Amino acid sequence: MAVEIKRVGVIGAGQMGNGIAHVCAAAGYEVGLHDISRDRIESGLATITGNLNRQVSKGQITEEQSRRALDLIKPAPQLEDLAEFDLVIESASENEQIKRKIFSQLCPSLKPEAILATNTSSISITRLAASTDRPERFIGIHFMNPVPIMELVELVRGIATEDETFEASKAFVAKVGKTIAVAEDFPAFMVNRILLPMINEAIYTLYEGVGSVEAIDTAMRLGANHPMGPLQLADFIGLDTCLSIMQVLYEGLADSKYRPCPLLVKYVEAGWLGRKTQRGFYDYRGETPVPTR
């Protein structure tokens, strides 16, 4: 069943979800934004408004373009509100059971020709697709964070993904102005298969006392010309997300080189998840971030 994508549903109004909604609306798509509470949706809309205003102030878009994009985004408090959408992108927590639960609740409402996508950064597309009623119309569309700024999208087919779904997804990604990198359905795909072990190794370097938080980040910024240090980046991503991805790699590839650093596990157990909780490898509660080790 051919489908022309005109309306895009986004499940999850957090950092990734509101970014996806932002770029979809800016490209002219009608967007339905869903989360588990109205407060979370409103918070996501406020973030989108702030980011659009920032783009206006920098001269990247006009006031009219900003207003038009905001007008295209509507709250979708119930999953059933996405019933008539052509593409629905799940961007919930990087937890397979949470994603499966969402799909089981969502699929009965979707029209048969709708494409269902996941923004997972590590979990098997084939396995997630098998938990839905439309594995042939299921695909991984992995945006990078922050979505309005980062140019890349990893497109990942499951074993059952049909060519029509793949081509429609390619056209969608092109329309939102992103560059596609096609990845095979292996744990963590390409970007995180390379990036997260580097971050995990930086945490091991801290754990073993080779360097302090500040020294490690300075070394990689100035010695490898990275825009931010790996520990600062881990805080930005979220330490719980970093741990989830490392666990997917460790379990999926059965190689000890992907074992999550015990210090990463300890920080997550403490609830020190990075910027979103105000503490991680840095403490963000003051005027300037302060290393916690």
Distance (Å, whole) CA 273 – CA 280: 5
Q: What residue ranges of the chain have pLDDT lower than 70?
A: 1-2
Q: Which residues contact 290 (CB under 8 A, 6 or more apart)?
A: 282, 283
Q: Which of 51, 91, 119, 121 is catalytic?
A: 121
Q: Give the position of tokens 């379990």.
A: 251
Single-letter code of the amino acid located at 71: D
Is residue 159 a contact partner of residue 132, using CB atoms and an 8 Å limit?
Answer: no
What do you get for the CA distance between the two ends of the chain, in Å? 56
Cα 104–Cα 127–Cα 255 angle in degrees, nearest 5: 140
121 catalytic? Reply is yes
For residues 287 and 73, what is the distance between their CA atoms, to the nearest angstrom? 34
CB 66 within 8 A of CB 53: yes
Q: Residue 73 has which token pair?
A: 């985004």
| DSSP helix/strand/coil, 142 | strand
Annotated catalytic residue within 18, 22, 154, 169: 154
Model pLDDT, residue 183? 97
Task: Identify the pLDDT of residue 102.
Answer: 97
The pLDDT of residue 92 is 95
pLDDT the model gives residue 130:
97
DSSP-based three-state secondary structure for 125 = helix
Q: Go through 275-285 and write b for each residue having 16 or more CB atoms within 10 A of its CB, e for each that does not.
A: bbbebbbbebe
Contact between residue 51 and residue 148 where contact means Cβ atoms under 8 Å apart: yes
Q: Is 226 a catalytic residue?
A: no
What does the alpha-carbon distance between residue 142 and residue 186 come to, in Å, rounded to a whole number? 13
- CA–CA–CA angle 221, 224, 227 (5° rounding): 40
Annotated catalytic residue 154: yes
Which among 18, 51, 66, 192 is annotated as catalytic? 192
pLDDT of residue 3: 74
> Is 225 assigned a catalytic role?
no
Could you tell me if 33 and 21 are in contact, meaning their C-beta atoms sit under 8 angstroms apart?
A: yes
DSSP at 271: T
Active-site residue identified among 124, 142, 200, 244: 142
Tokens (6 digits) for 65: 């373009």
Cα 71 to the center of its chain, rounded Å: 24
Tell me what pLDDT residue 66 has: 97
Q: How far apart are CA 139 and CA 162, in angstroms?
A: 9
Quote the pLDDT of residue 4: 86
